[in-house]
């Protein structure tokens, strides 16, 4: 029998988990994807990608906060590669649930590292690190050696998991890698994140299903890329000769307000922001109707104001380079949300 590579992907019900599973199946891997036991399991993303019933995909129940089941999972699957994508990944919620976030997003990663150390230290490990670890701006563009200064319980938890990955690499020789990924979006993005909230709301406003889009800080700047290209980067990171840390980013930054303008442009609406002192109200240039306004309830206790990444190391050593522009990404997301809302459902 041919030697089929086995991958374990935690968080397959999330955006990246779904795209990564699709990529690995295309490459001929056997993929074990983990999901949490909930009262209503949601596989809409893997269904949208058409991989839910793929013969080489196995779905198993697993919770990252349980050390014993992390060890048993590793023993049962005996993977060649582990991609740890599971996390409480919403920054806003991490301020409300700091301890749960620490347990899942921080300590959870160490459960997998321990399981690898116990079961088979040769298993390659990818940790989903984040630009949120850079937090308060220390230098731009941010790269692998930029000092960290996280600004949320989520960022702090991720920084712990990041350093534990580095520590297991240095202490036990584990092939532990960390991808410091800047924001990446897609039609499969969760609706709580700002880009998808915007594209879904723009689609609803266009279809007459919503009046106004309410947002928090419109001045925050993010380096947004396309998720499908970023999961390819994760895979490349684990195929390298040596375990290491890499930044994946586009090296372009825009404000949330810029993304709002882009999304409305995709449905031929131009916005005027001049009606309020702080550019906090967006009206339709043609009709004068208020379409966007700031609601302070969406502000965070501490904000990450500016993210722009330098992916030069990944480009040089892994040959990874993003190619989808933000305009193309935004258009793709608005079109998907128009289709979904027209059909009467939106996840």
Asked if 203 and 334 touch (Cβ cutoff 8 Å), the reply is yes
With contacts defined by CB under 6 A, name the span among 181-189, 256-264, 268-276, 325-333 that binds ligand NDP.
181-189
71 to 100: interface string for ligand NDP, x by CB under 6 A? --------------xxxxx-----------
Burial 114-131 (b: 16+ CB within 10 A, else e): bbbbebeeebbbbbbbbb
Q: Which of 32, 84, 130, 165 binds ligand GDR (CB under 6 A)?
A: 130
Measured CA to CA, the distance from residue 220 to residue 258 in angstroms comes to 10
With contacts defined by CB under 6 A, name the span among 124-132, 159-167, 278-286, 319-327 that binds ligand GDR.
124-132
Q: Which of ligand NDP, ligand GDR, none does residue 104 bind to, with CB < 5 to 8 Å depending on kind?
A: ligand NDP
Spatial CA neighbour of 106 closest among 129, 90, 126: 129
Burial class (CB in 10 A: 0-12, 13-18, 19+), 170: exposed
- Coil, strand, or helix at residue 63? coil
Is 132 an annotated catalytic residue?
yes
Catalytic residue among 10, 13, 101, 130: 130
57 forms bridges with which residues in the sheet?
Answer: 31
Is 192 an annotated catalytic residue?
no
Residue 217 or 279 with smaller CB distance to ligand NDP? 217
Residue 67 or 140 with smaller CB distance to ligand GDR? 140
CB of 86 to ligand NDP, least distance (A): 3
Distances (CA, A) of 93 to 124, 152, 294: 30, 10, 19
Spatial CA neighbour of 106 closest among 54, 158, 34: 158
Q: Which of 92, 98, 317, 331 binds ligand GDR (CB under 6 A)?
A: 92
- Between residue 326 and residue 345, which ones bind ligand NDP under the rule CB under 6 A? none
Is 154 an annotated catalytic residue?
yes
Rg (CA), the chain: 20
Q: Which of ligand GDR, ligand NDP, none does residue 217 bind to, with CB < 5 to 8 Å depending on kind?
A: ligand GDR
Residues forming contacts to ligand NDP in the complex (CB under 6 A) are 10-11, 13-17, 36, 38, 62-65, 85-89, 104, 128, 130, 181, 183-184, 190
Positions touching ligand GDR (CB under 6 A) are 89, 91-92, 130-132, 182-183, 192-194, 197, 215-217, 220, 222, 256, 298, 300, 303
* Residues belonging to the active site: 130, 132, 154
């Amino acid at each position: 029998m041919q030697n089929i590579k086995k991958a374990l992907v935690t968080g397959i019900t999330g955006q990246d988990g779904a795209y990564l599973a699709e990529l690995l199946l295309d490459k001929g891997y056997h993929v074990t994807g983990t999901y949490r036991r909930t009262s209503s399991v949601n596989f809409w993303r893997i269904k949208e990608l058409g991989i839910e019933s793929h013969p080489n995909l196995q779905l198993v129940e697993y919770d990252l906060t349980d050390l014993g089941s992390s060890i048993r999972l590793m023993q049962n699957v005996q993977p060649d590669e582990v991609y740890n994508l599971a996390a409480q990944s919403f920054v806003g919620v991490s301020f409300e649930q700091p301890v749960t976030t620490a347990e899942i997003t921080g300590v959870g990663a160490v459960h997998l590292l321990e399981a690898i150390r116990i079961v088979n230290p040769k298993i390659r490990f990818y940790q989903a690190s984040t630009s949120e670890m850079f937090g308060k701006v220390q230098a731009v563009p941010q790269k692998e050696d930029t000092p960290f200064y996280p600004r949320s319980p989520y960022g702090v938890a991720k920084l712990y998991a990041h350093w534990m990955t580095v520590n297991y690499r240095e202490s036990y020789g584990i092939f532990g890698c960390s991808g410091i990924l800047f924001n990446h979006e897609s039609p499969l993005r969760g609706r709580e994140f700002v880009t998808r909230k915007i594209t879904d709301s723009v689609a609803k406003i266009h279809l007459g299903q919503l009046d106004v889009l309410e947002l928090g800080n419109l001045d925050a700047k993010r380096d947004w890329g396309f998720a499908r290209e970023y999961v390819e980067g994760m895979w490349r990171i684990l195929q390298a000769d040596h375990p290491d840390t890499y930044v994946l980013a586009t090296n372009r930054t825009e404000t949330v307000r810029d993304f709002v303008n882009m999304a409305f442009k995709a449905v031929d609406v131009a916005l005027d922001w001049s009606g309020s002192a702080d550019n906090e109200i967006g009206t339709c240039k043609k009709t004068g109707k208020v379409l966007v306004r700031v609601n302070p309830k969406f502000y965070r206790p501490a904000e990450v104001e500016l993210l722009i990444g330098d992916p030069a190391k990944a480009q040089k050593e892994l040959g990874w380079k993003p190619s989808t522009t933000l305009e193309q990404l935004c258009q793709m997301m608005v079109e998907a949300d128009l289709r979904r809302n027209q059909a009467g459902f939106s996840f």
